[in-house]
Structure formats: C-alpha cells, structure tokens
Amino acid sequence: MGRYQLYCPYCNSYLEEYYTLDCLKHSVLIRTVYEAKQLHLQNFPGIWKYTDWLPVKSPLTIDSGPVTYQSQALAKELRMDSLYISFNGYWPEKGANAKSCTFKEYEALVTYPRVKETGYKGVYLASAGNTGRSFAYISQLTGIPTVVFVPEQNIDKFWLPEPNTDTITLISLKKGNDYTETCRLAARLVGLLSSGTGWAPEGGAKNVARRDGMASVLYDAVHTIKKIPHHYFQAIGSGTGGIATWEAALRFRADGRFGNYLPQLHLSQNLPYAPILNAWKLKSREIKPERDMPHADEKIKQVDAAMLTNRSPPYSIPGGVFDALTDTAGQMYGITNEELRHAEKLFLDFEGIDIVPEASVAVASLIKATEQDLVNKKEIILLNITGGGTERLKEDIDLHTMTPHLTVEHADVSLDEIMELLK
C-alpha cells in the first residue's frame, strides 16, 4: 500500500528514497511513481482511502478529506449540467471535517507520517497563514514537533482548533516583512538544522507529500463522479494545487478506467496582483518581475485573497505551473475584489456555506468562464472550494489563538536565539 519511487521527469531516472526534495542533478519538481497503476479504495477514513496513491506507509486515524458533491442550486443558476464541488473545510452536514478549514490540511496530513517514516523528529516551515495553521493543527493531533515562521501581519490567521500547543514553536517576523522574507529566514536554517538535528524542512511545492496530499481532491472527485472531470477551477498563489491536480490526472489517464484525457486547468488570481496570469497571457515560461509583477508591495496590499500573493511561485521550473497549463491547454483568470465579494455571497446564498476569499476567487472565475463561453456547460466541471466553513466552525467550537515564542526584526537576524529555542 502506497508503495512508490521518486522520479525525476527531467533526466528520466529514479532517485533513492529518503526525505529528498530535489533531483541531485537538476532543479525540478520530482514526482512519486506508485507501484499501483490503478487506484483501489482502502477501508480507511478521509484521505487515507486513497493510500494507494499517497507517499506514506501507515495512514493516520485523522478523518478529514475532500467532500465531492454535485451542485444543484449554483449549477442551475449558471446553467451547468454537471457541476461538482470539491468542498475542503468544515461543514459537518456534508461530512467535511477539516477543522483548519482549507485543503492545506491534506498537505500536512501526508507530510507528517512521511517525515516520521524517513527518520526525522519534526518539521519547520514558513507560512503566510493557512499552511502554518494546518501544519500546527496536525502537529496538535499527532504530537509531532513543528516550527512555524509567520509574518506578524498575518498572525490573526494563526488560530487553532485545539488548546494544546506544546508541540508548536511559533516565530514571527516584525511588521513590514512579508511572506517572502519569512521564507528567506526559514531557508537560512536549512544548512544548520538538517544535518543531524532531526528537523526536516517542509519544502513547499518541492515536497511530494504536499502535492500528493492535495491530489486527493481529484482522487475523491474521480471516485465520486466515476469520470475524469473535463474542467478544473481553482484559485492559485503558488499553483501547487494546479500542479498536483495535473499529476493526479496523469495517474488517472494511465489507470484507464475513467477517461483518456486530462482536465483543462482553469486557474485564477486576485487582481491587481497576478504574476502567473500576466506571464501565461504572453505564453512566457519566465515570470519577469518588472513586466509581470510591477510595484508588487503595493499591489499585494490591495488584494483581498492574501493567500494568492506568492512572489516566487514554481512556475518556470520543469514540472511546474507553466508545464501543467501547457499540457492541459489551461486558462488563467484575473478576478477583482468586487467580483470576489459578489461570488462569495452567491455561493453562500446558493450552496449555503461561508467560504474563504481565495475560494471566492475560484467561484468568480467559474462565473467569468460562463460569461465568456470558455467552458462547455454540458461537460463535467469540478470547482475546488479550497477553504470554507470557518464561520460554521465557530458555531461549534472556541478557536484558540497563540502568541509567538519569539518575534524577530528581519530575515537576516542572528540565528542563535532561534537555534536555542529549537534545542
């Protein structure tokens, strides 16, 4: 179960399995290749049903995972025959139990057992908010130690569903330092922490556990629909979810039972900050900062969907977003804050649950696609609601906040204090 090898699609070779994030020869997104060529459901809860195609040996007992259902009300409003929603968050009436309220929870769920299985004691990562919350939550549930670096201005996103915080070390970066600076600080630890200290860098898009955890959205959709969807809608910052869906679709195409095509990726960003949209419009493999993300600081501040404001997405890298869009004849959309708010309300009115701003961007892109005739409304459409149910969760439990153990001035501070904290 879940037996796999790591593979470099660039030099077509298999790598030795350990907690590696890269091919030794190139910078690429390495992939998992599973022994099981067909996905057979296992008798486990949540994402663990799909253990055949997850890079872990023994599943956890935590039962969260995507819930795919066929939309009635929104589908009728948009005149679509087969609109399916992948709901990722908290919505107990539908069976959705991801209490950190986004699909990042699955990335954490798969990363932790893999970190343990490859001999580490804990994980450290930088986060703009949602990733850190998901990893901290799964750290609460598994007891596996975790260090999270987060920008001070995003600390309000760092609530937790459980009270115990013993396994979590939270380090914040003073106001004015954004997510990119936070990543830079965490990256400075790589050389210091990885050799012999037992701390694994989480790895971002390069972490196959993260991508295959996100792939469970398509695993669940295909399992429910019994066909590969023709279209896939998702809002992106890094685009890792789009890459993961493409990789999952390649597995299903090879599986052969659900169609011999790939879903067209319809990916969206929140204007006025949309570097991937701008580069893709020109069919450029490079994101050129001055052309595609001018005045990034100011524009990032104007965006409602803060999780979509990545400055160095895995776009150009072989096996990244550019390749995923190319292989699936993909579309990119730019969505304004106004369109986002309209979509959020529409979704609440028609489907009956609150969703996060990022998910609202995807809903708005679906509306845009219908207005501009970019999808065939008779085909199977999958809408990824990447996060939702935060308001619903607050009705059921009290959320806990956490104060940082340490706040540092900038990304170039001396690492002594941080190292001391991690001993």
Ligand X SMILES: *Cc1c(COP(=O)(O)O)cnc(C)c1O
Of Zn ion, ligand X, none, which one does residue 11 interact with (CB within 5 to 8 Å by kind)?
Zn ion
The Cα 376–Cα 370 span in angstroms is 8
3-state helix, strand, coil split of the chain in percent (to 5) is 40, 20, 40
Of 382, 392, 381, nearest in space to 355 by CA: 392
Window 90 to 119, contacts with ligand X (CB under 6 A):
102, 104
Q: How long, in residues, is the chain?
A: 423
Q: Based on the shown chain and the rule CB under 6 A, indicate whether residue 161 belongs to the binding site for ligand X.
A: no
The Cα 283–Cα 54 span in angstroms is 32
Of 185, 212, 186, 211, nearest in space to 200 by CA: 186
Which amino acid appears at position 196 of this protein? G
For residues 12 and 414, which CB has a smaller minimum distance to Zn ion in the complex?
A: 12
Nearest distance in Å: CB 244, ligand X: 7
Residue nearest to ligand X (CB): 241
By CB under 6 A, which span of 22-30, 32-40, 215-223, 235-243 interacts with ligand X? 235-243
Of ligand X, Zn ion, none, which one does residue 237 interact with (CB within 5 to 8 Å by kind)?
ligand X
The owner of tokens 């790895």 is: 203
For residues 18 and 398, which CB has a smaller minimum distance to Zn ion in the complex?
A: 18
* Binds ligand X by CB under 6 A, chosen from 139, 238, 328, 337: 238
Count CB-CB contacts under 10 A for residue 213. 28
Of ligand X, Zn ion, none, which one does residue 182 interact with (CB within 5 to 8 Å by kind)?
none
Q: What is the DSSP string of 236-298?
A: -SS-HHHHHHHHHHHHHHHH-SS-SS-PEEEEEEETT--HHHHHHHTT-SSPPHHHHSTTHHH
Window 329 to 358, contacts with Zn ion (CB under 5 A):
none
Whether residue 177 contacts residue 404, with contact meaning beta carbons closer than 8 Å, is answered with no
For residues 359 and 408, which CB has a smaller minimum distance to ligand X in the complex?
A: 359
Q: What crossing angle do the helices spanning 104-117 and 208-225 adopt, rounded to 10°?
A: 120
Nearest distance in Å: CB 26, Zn ion: 4
At 126 the three-state DSSP class reads strand
Window 19 to 48, contacts with Zn ion (CB under 5 A):
23, 25-26
Q: What is the CA radius of gyration of the chain?
A: 20
The Cα 385–Cα 290 span in angstroms is 32
Q: Based on the shown chain and the rule CB under 6 A, indicate whether residue 66 belongs to the binding site for ligand X.
A: no
Window 375 to 414, contacts with ligand X (CB under 6 A):
386-387
Window 306 to 335, contacts with ligand X (CB under 6 A):
307
Window 10 to 49, contacts with ligand X (CB under 6 A):
none
* Binds ligand X by CB under 6 A, chosen from 358, 363, 418, 422: 358
Q: Based on the shown chain and the rule CB under 6 A, indicate whether residue 236 belongs to the binding site for ligand X.
A: yes
Whether residue 354 contacts residue 390, with contact meaning beta carbons closer than 8 Å, is answered with yes
Q: Total binding residues for ligand X by CB under 6 A? A: 17
CA–chain centroid gap for 381, Å, is 20
Bridge partners, 96 (sequence order): 91
- The site string for ligand X over 126-155 (x = CB under 6 A, - otherwise) reads ----x-------------------------
Q: Based on the shown chain and the rule CB under 6 A, indicate whether residue 204 belongs to the binding site for ligand X.
A: no
Q: Based on the shown chain and the rule CB under 5 A, indicate whether residue 11 belongs to the binding site for Zn ion.
A: yes
| Angle CA 315–321–324, to nearest 5 | 150
By CB under 5 A, which span of 7-15, 83-91, 346-354, 406-414 interacts with Zn ion? 7-15
* Binds Zn ion by CB under 5 A, chosen from 6, 8, 74, 144: 8
By CB under 6 A, which span of 35-43, 155-163, 167-175, 352-360 interacts with ligand X? 352-360
* Binds ligand X by CB under 6 A, chosen from 80, 271, 356, 380: 356
The Cα 26–Cα 10 span in angstroms is 8
Nearest distance in Å: CB 397, ligand X: 20
By CB under 6 A, which span of 62-70, 115-123, 141-149, 240-248 interacts with ligand X? 240-248
Torsion over CA: 228, 230, 233, 239 (sign): positive
Strand ranges in 140-238 using DSSP code E only, listed in sequence order: 146-151, 168-173, 199-201, 231-235
By CB under 6 A, which span of 5-13, 236-244, 282-290, 405-413 interacts with ligand X? 236-244
For residues 193 and 205, which CB has a smaller minimum distance to ligand X in the complex?
A: 205
Query: Which residues bind to Zn ion, rule: CB under 5 A?
Result: 8, 10-11, 23, 25-26
Query: Which residues bind to ligand X, rule: CB under 6 A?
Result: 102, 104, 130, 235-242, 307, 356, 358-359, 386-387
